[in-house]
Amino acid sequence: MPFPFQLPTTSSVLLSDCFESATHPSLPLAATTKRSVLKDALKKHKRLSTREKVAHLPTVRDAVINYIPYVLALNAAAGFGDVGVERVDLGVKNALQTEWRTTLCATLPGREPPRPRLIGLHHEIAFTLSTLAYVHSLLARTQLRMLYEASVISAEQRTSAVGSALKHLLQANSIHNYLLSLPSVSAAKAAPIDIQPSTISGLASLALAEATLIVVTKDDPYAAAVGEDRNEGNTDWMFKAPSIPRVRAHLFARISLAAAEHASQAQGLLGRSGSAAGKIDEDLIKYATDLRRTARGKAARFLAIDAELSGKTGEGLAWLKGAKKEMGLAVELEDGKRKGFRGLKQSWQERREDKKVEKGGEWGMDAGKLEEARVVEMLEAKWDKENDTVNVQLVPPYEPLLASMPSGREYHSPQPYIPPKLDAGTLAQMRAPPDPDEAAFRGDEEDSGGEEGYGTRSAEPVGAFPGTGREYARTGTSNSYY
């Protein structure tokens, strides 16, 4: 369900050419090595297939975490501050110039996102920590993916997957909030769209909305029942109607409304982000919009369950219609089946989403809206049949019910992010001068500036055999194009 962020790539930079330290001369060289490892990991991650990227995410995470202490130490020393308990004297030889490829910027189809040139350590820190937050969101996706796969999972596995995803999303939220607390980052109004304060704040709200919404997923038996019902490998021939206590149904509704509030805040912040550098990708804004709709639809569904458990089946059916209205899926049912073109379109979208989950593609771009629609329609078909044969209650209009929704209830208390720091032993080792014959590690991967679609054109003519470019070159005396 979390948004499938694309990890950025970066250029190769020698930090030892920009900084020098009289007290810790090995610090710039060690920082260059850690940064080169991160550059290689990001570059390799971009070339992998979708399934291979899932297994490579921990490698990228470790590379980012290992580099953060060094770049923060350089930033603290450059501001005439202490690194831990030691005083580090750091001088600036040249202005630091790096290039990071933006991944949240809207671009034309088939083109690489721009890679602007950035000056200063604050931009380097912002992109590095943002990359770590993206990695945590992607790790949460890998945990939640098993909830939508064809295989049947136990309740313990479901709880473990949701718990792990919850930790990753809260960590992503804490990292974004930490970035906003840095004065150099929060004041960078002319920064690329990815690290502008409004974008970072919107991403923090989006991560908190996702973390709040999956709280109810852990103990939601109706969603699990729908997943097992459409699973062809499920051998359970008896179906027991799931049930949850009435008090928890109302509590889940309020938690879902809190998630909708955070998603609405993220939608507003991301939609307002933009500058001369570009605008936010429409897919991200649409995802935030769908997440708000899904959360409000889920809240209405839990309020419907609360009403049905009280014996008010007619009111419960009205809440279910309101849930579909909130999600923008006002599809009428006839004998438990969809009708009309909109029903056919929704069925096609659900089958397409199922194939994405099976093949490992970019599933979940609807923020779980189609999956929630299946749960609503399952309950509507079941209760409508019961109401026609047993209860026979009138179904009131749903508009007054939606207007009387309760307020949201916060579930999480996010903890502040504490970045990793250099320990005293490692910092003490950097007092020794580097070996004169020791060269800085530049990485095994080529600079991302040479990626296809960016920068200079290839030296080889199109269709030429490698190494024969000179034979196709035009001479200085020839004016012929043939």
Task: Dump pLDDT digits (tens) for 411-439.
Answer: 988 899 999 998 888 888 888 887 766 66
If pLDDT is split at 50, 70 and 90, which confidence band does 323 have?
very high
For 283, the enclosing helix (H) or strand (E) is helix 282-309
Cα end-to-end distance, the chain, whole Å: 55
Domain ranges of the chain: 1-188+415-445, 240-412
pLDDT at 164 over 90: yes
Quickly state the pLDDT bin for 243 (edges 50, 70, 90).
Answer: low
**pLDDT, average across residues 155-180:** 91
Mean pLDDT lowest among 180-189, 253-262, 421-430: 180-189
User: From CA 214, how far away is CA 144, in angstroms rounded?
Assistant: 9
Q: Tally DSSP H helices, then E strands, for the chain.
A: 14, 10
pLDDT at 112: 78
- Strand 278-279, strand 117-119: pairing: unpaired
Q: Residue 448 — very low, low, confident or very high, per pLDDT cuts 50/70/90?
A: low
CA gap 212, 208 in Å, rounded? 6
Distances (CA, A) of 352 to 138, 158, 217, 280, 336: 21, 24, 22, 26, 21
Q: How far apart are CA 275 and CA 467, in angstroms?
A: 44
Helix (H, G, I), strand (E, B) or coil at 431: coil
Among 329, 284, 271, residue whose Cα is nearest residue 104: 284
* Residue 408 amino acid letter: G
305 alpha carbon, distance to own chain's centre: 31
Tell me how far apart the alpha carbons of residues 330 and 440 are, in angstroms, rounded to a whole number. Answer: 61
- Spatial distance between the Cα atoms of 407 and 313, rounded to a whole number of angstroms: 23
Of 155-169, 347-361, 375-389, give the lowest mean pLDDT range.
347-361
Contacts of residue 272, Cβ cutoff 8 Å, sequence gap at least 6: 198
Give the per-residue pLDDT at 432.
84
Q: Specify the pLDDT at position 237.
A: 38
Condensed to tens digits (0 to 9), the pLDDT of residues 334-369 reads 544 555 545 555 554 555 555 555 555 566 688 888
211-225 mean pLDDT: 84
Work out the burial of residue 468: count CB atoms within 10 Å of its CB; fewer than 13 is exposed, 13-18 middle, 19 or more buried.
exposed
Q: Look at residue 434 in the predicted model and tell me its pLDDT.
A: 77
Question: Which of 213-222, 274-283, 326-335 is the most confident on average?
Answer: 213-222
Distance CA 71, CA 56 (A): 23
What does DSSP assign to residue 255? H
Q: Residue 277 pLDDT more than 90?
A: no
> What percentage of the chain exceeds 90 in pLDDT?
37
| Of 344, 334, 263, 268, the residue nearest 296 (C-alpha) | 263
Amino acid at 153: I
Rounded CA separation 133/169 (Å): 8
| Cα 53 from Cα 60, distance rounded (Å) | 10
Helix (H) / strand (E) containing 97:
strand 97-99
In this predicted structure, the answer to whether residue 481 has a pLDDT above a threshold of 50 is no
pTM (two decimals): 0.84
Report the pLDDT value the prediction gives residue 83, as an integer from 0 to 100: 77
Which residues sit opposite 279 in a β-bridge?
A: 274
Q: What is the pLDDT of residue 442?
A: 65
Contact call for residues 266 and 206 (beta carbons, < 8 A): yes
d(C-alpha 209, C-alpha 86), whole Å: 40
Facing residues of 337 across strands? Answer: 334
Q: How many CA atoms lie within 13 A of 446 on its CB side?
A: 6
Phi then psi for residue 114, to 5 deg, are -70, 155
What pLDDT was estimated at residue 155? 73
79-111 b/e (C-beta count within 10 Å ≥ 16 → b): eeeebbebebebeeeeebebbbbbbbbbeeeee
Residue 151 has pLDDT above 60, yes or no: no
Give the Cα separation of 331 and 342 in Å (integer): 7
Q: Is the pLDDT at 473 greater than 80, yes or no?
A: no
Question: Helix, strand, or coil here: 186?
Answer: helix
Q: How far is CA 384 from the centre of its chain?
A: 38
CB 167 within 8 A of CB 137: no
pLDDT per residue over 12-39, tens digit each? Answer: 988 888 888 888 888 889 999 999 999 9
Mean pLDDT of the chain: 81
For the domain 240-412, what is the CATH superfamily, name and number? alix/aip1 like domains (1.25.40.280)
- Cα-based angle 300, 301, 307 (whole degrees, multiple of 5): 90
For residue 241, is pLDDT > 60?
no
